[in-house]
Structure 1
């Protein structure tokens, strides 16, 4: 670049020297220098005008203007930069078109919005699932088109760890699962999945479990009643029948317990519950449950300690909370060796309320912990006959906590016991009324 600058400077000075000598020849050297500078300025302005005109519409103008010296070199370099930029733009446009084409082929609806929720782009599936219109909805706020308070709260909460399920605003028979991801400057990428079939299957499963449980309850109650009568009069029966009848009575009782848990779980899942905003005295509730646990412990003589001194009450359905807490405490009794220690604590802090059930039992391997709240899942199936459990206790606990905006934390190590902690948000705590 330096040689070209030198060459351009050389030609410029030579031109000015020539006009000055011509003026000197005519007796006016200063006029000659001024004339040379004026010509150079006019030529520079002409080249600047050509450059501005070309830069205004380089694609329409095509090739860069031709010129000499420094201006020619400048036009050439700008032309190369423009060509490179056009190539990069074409490659980016091709990639964007390919991404949009592939996104349009998805069955899931995909929507991009800015941080405020103004819609910038969406694919064809979003139009089908949510009823968006390409010509009129561009730039509209998405929560004005999906008019569901739950969606607006979910969008504003910025906590997208769990998806949101709702019915399509355009086609109510379609059940959608909404997932939101943050990107860029708090922009949103929203994915809407059609989970109608899964939703219907889940409803069918719940209805089936509920109906079958209710239908089995009556005949099983009759059978249990007759078996109880036979057990009470077992001394009048032949010896070979006594053991069989007692075994049948035990299994009938287990079936009744299982059906009762299935019905309870079905009611909790389907929302058949009382108002979950009634203040509940957890201290009193825990005391009652622990008294029942001592009775359950019986000759095994567990040491059951209660640490419930929190002054605040919990807004919730007392019957559901009793079911959840009693499941945790009774499980601790069942799975803790004789004379073991069980500690039940209720405390509050800035994060909310926490109920802890800690035992000195055998503990649970980390492999099993993620699945413990599944229906009928057992970390140790061999203990089924010993404990007499139904495998639904922790599933009931999980759904009760979901209904109360809480979650279950499980801490356990083999040989070092287990601790189950129910966490409730601070919004559910209320001050206890005196008296």
Structure 2
């Protein structure tokens, strides 16, 4: 029966039964009033039965009724059943998500914008020592009391992960990624990188040891080759050419060993290096002189612009290695007659050392990988330049030790710009720098 029919039904009963009966006994108004009061009382009773039914816990059968109220009871019962089914499906999906997340080796934590933890998986509990239900509703900063983590959490600068030690397992190294979602909530993913760090340490030690072991025999070989070349004027041209090629390759090997040792040293030192305010004008002048020596007979227009007398707080030896690598690379890859501009200047947020050339340029697909060890945008160039493939890797690690980053922009055939961006907090005015010394 339609809803409209259920509403019209009482009116039909009124006009066909109540009103004629009232006319028959001569009291139509009194009988009509009594009928309305009785209907209202009956409706109030149905409301009371509905309220009592809805307050009952769990699912129960609705009160027996008929007409419009019977339809209301049946409709509510049907909606309850549909709601229960939907809730069961959502709960099953939630359980499945939680089970699959608990199966992950990576820790997962959900927090609000203040760091209050809503949920975490078993891997996160193991890494951070979390316990349910004691830690539910606690702020994650209370449990992970590393200042760098709190700063990272509220910075919203999540492009790079954060490395830290596990709170209750100092030997465990963790990598933390944070993603914003919802209303400024956080999804925190934690990876155990202890084994990777150990492998990295073993690799560094291996490279350092091998490089040290190679240095002595290479020095001996180079010495004998130099002696043979100096005293071999009477040798056949073919033998002289062979000795010259051997000497060239020995020098390249020596350069590679030197760069490997330097890179290993920079990595091992990390941020624990002696740092002082560095006079950038003097440092860049020395690098400029070295660049002119390397250029030799190649005619290049190399300009230096030092637009600030401010000192850069850092390790001068490492900074010299990084900056000279950038400048010497520009000298190697810039054709004769072209320009190289070296510029030191300050912005509102950064201190910038940029090296801009008008050389052969680099395709954009290679730029993200240029700082990888031994990566070459064009391997064919290596033969002509004699590079080791470690220069930009050295630059990258030096900048990491100085809280800086390397920005690279380039177009094939138009040149490149390598810019070292240091945080402005590392700048010291000349007067202050003298006091620090």
TM above 0.5: yes
Alignment correspondent of 1:6: 8
What is the distance in 2 between the residues matched to 1:13 and 1:57? 39
Alignment correspondent of 1:66: 64
The DSSP-based 3-state class of the residue aligned with 1:213 is helix
Contact 1:23 / 1:33 at 8 angstroms: preserved in 2? Answer: no
What is the distance in 1 between the residues matched to 2:408 and 2:234? 50
Of 396, 399, 402, 1:398 maps to: 396
What is the distance in 1 between the residues matched to 2:52 and 2:10? 24
Alignment correspondent of 2:295: 297
Alignment correspondent of 1:57: 56
Alignment correspondent of 2:198: 200
What is the distance in 2 between the residues matched to 1:359 and 1:382? 20
* CA spacing shift, 1:272–1:117, aligned 2, 3 Å: closer
Question: Could you give the per-residue CA deviations for residues 80-112 of structure 1, whole angstroms, max 9, x where no partner exists?
Answer: 222221121111111111111111111222111
1:163 aligns with 2:155: no
Aligned runs of 1:364-383 on 2, under 5 Å? Answer: 364-383=362-381
Aligned runs of 1:184-333 on 2, under 5 Å? Answer: 184-235=182-233, 242-271=240-269, 275=273, 278-333=276-331
Question: Could you give the per-residue CA deviations for residues 181-225 of structure 1, whole angstroms, max 9, x where no partner exists?
Answer: 111111111111222222211111111111222233344334444
The DSSP-based 3-state class of the residue aligned with 1:289 is helix
Contact 1:276 / 1:404 at 8 angstroms: preserved in 2? Answer: no
Alignment correspondent of 1:335: 333
Question: Could you give the per-residue CA deviations for residues 34-62 of structure 1, whole angstroms, max 9, x where no partner exists?
Answer: 544443332222111111111223634x1
Question: Could you give the per-residue CA deviations for residues 216-253 of structure 1, whole angstroms, max 9, x where no partner exists?
Answer: 33443344445445555555878776544444443333
What is the distance in 2 between the residues matched to 1:163 and 1:71? 61
The DSSP-based 3-state class of the residue aligned with 1:300 is coil
Alignment correspondent of 1:39: 38
State the Cα distance separating 1:367 from its structure 2 match: 2.8
What is the distance in 2 between the residues matched to 1:212 and 1:281? 35
Alignment correspondent of 2:351: 353
Contact 1:314 / 1:429 at 8 angstroms: preserved in 2? Answer: yes
**RMSD of the alignment, in Å?**
2.8
1:363 aligns with 2:361: yes
What is the distance in 2 between the residues matched to 1:154 and 1:234? 64
Of 411, 418, 424, 2:409 maps to: 411
Contact 1:110 / 1:190 at 8 angstroms: preserved in 2? Answer: yes
What is the distance in 2 between the residues matched to 1:42 and 1:413? 87
State the Cα distance separating 1:360 from its structure 2 match: 1.7
* CA spacing shift, 1:393–1:54, aligned 2, 3 Å: same
Contact 1:19 / 1:35 at 8 angstroms: preserved in 2? Answer: no
Aligned runs of 1:127-142 on 2, under 5 Å? Answer: 127-142=125-140
Alignment correspondent of 2:98: 100
What is the distance in 1 between the residues matched to 2:424 and 2:75? 65
Contact 2:270 / 2:401 at 8 angstroms: preserved in 1? Answer: no
Moved more, 182-191 or 279-288: 279-288
* CA spacing shift, 1:51–1:254, aligned 2, 3 Å: same
What is the distance in 1 between the residues matched to 2:13 and 2:422? 84
Question: Could you give the per-residue CA deviations for residues 299-326 of structure 1, whole angstroms, max 9, x where no partner exists?
Answer: 1121101122134432222221111111
Moved more, 176-185 or 12-21: 12-21
Contact 2:173 / 2:192 at 8 angstroms: preserved in 1? Answer: yes
What is the distance in 2 between the residues matched to 1:113 and 1:14? 67
* TM-score in terms of structure 2 length: 0.89
What is the distance in 2 between the residues matched to 1:394 and 1:48? 79
Contact 2:271 / 2:402 at 8 angstroms: preserved in 1? Answer: no
Q: Structure 2: where are the runs of 5+ without partners?
A: none
What is the distance in 2 between the residues matched to 1:12 and 1:158? 70
The DSSP-based 3-state class of the residue aligned with 1:188 is strand
State the Cα distance separating 1:272 from its structure 2 match: 5.2
What is the distance in 2 between the residues matched to 1:394 and 1:54? 75
Question: Could you give the per-residue CA deviations for residues 110-167 of structure 1, whole angstroms, max 9, x where no partner exists?
Answer: 1111211111111122222222112311111112222222222221211111112222
What is the distance in 2 between the residues matched to 1:144 and 1:230? 70
